[in-house]
Amino acid sequence: MVLAIAESVHIHAIPRFAAPRLTFEPTEPMRIAIVLPESTTPPLPACHGWGVLRTLRWMNRISERFAALRQRGEKGLVVYIGAGDPDLAATERLALAFDKAGVDVLELGIPFSDPLADGVVNQLAAQRGLESGATPPQVLKTVSAIRRRSQIPIVFFVYYNLLHKYGLDRFIRDAQSAGVDGLLVLDLPPEESGDYTTLMRSAGLAAIFLLAPTTPEDRVREIVRHGEGFLYYISREGVTGMQSKVADTIGPMTAMIRRHTSLPIAIGFGISNPEQARQVSAHGEAIVVGSAIVNQVAEHGKSPDLAERVGAFVRSLADAVKSR
Give yes or no for a contact between 52 and 9, defined as CB atoms under 8 angstroms apart.
yes
Phi, psi of 273 (to 5 degrees): -150, 170
Give yes or no for a contact between 47 and 15, defined as CB atoms under 8 angstroms apart.
yes
107 is catalytic: yes
Element (H, E) at 78: strand 76-82
Tell me if residue 31 falls in helix, strand or coil.
Answer: strand
| Tally of CA atoms within 13 A in the half-sphere of 20 that contains its CB | 19
85, 87, 104, 118: which one is catalytic? 118
Give yes or no for a contact between 199 and 226, defined as CB atoms under 8 angstroms apart.
no
28 is catalytic: no
Distance CA 35, CA 5 (A): 9
List residues bridging with 106 in a β-sheet.
79, 154
Element (H, E) at 97: helix 88-101
85, 92, 107, 174: which one is catalytic? 107
Distances (CA, A) of 218 to 162, 222, 276, 284: 30, 7, 30, 21
State the first-to-last Cα distance of the chain, in angstroms, to the nearest integer.
Answer: 31
Element (H, E) at 163: helix 160-166
DSSP 8-state code for residue 45? P
Residue type at position 147: R
Single out the residue of 73, 3, 15 nearest to residue 41, CA to CA: 3
Catalytically active residues are 107, 118
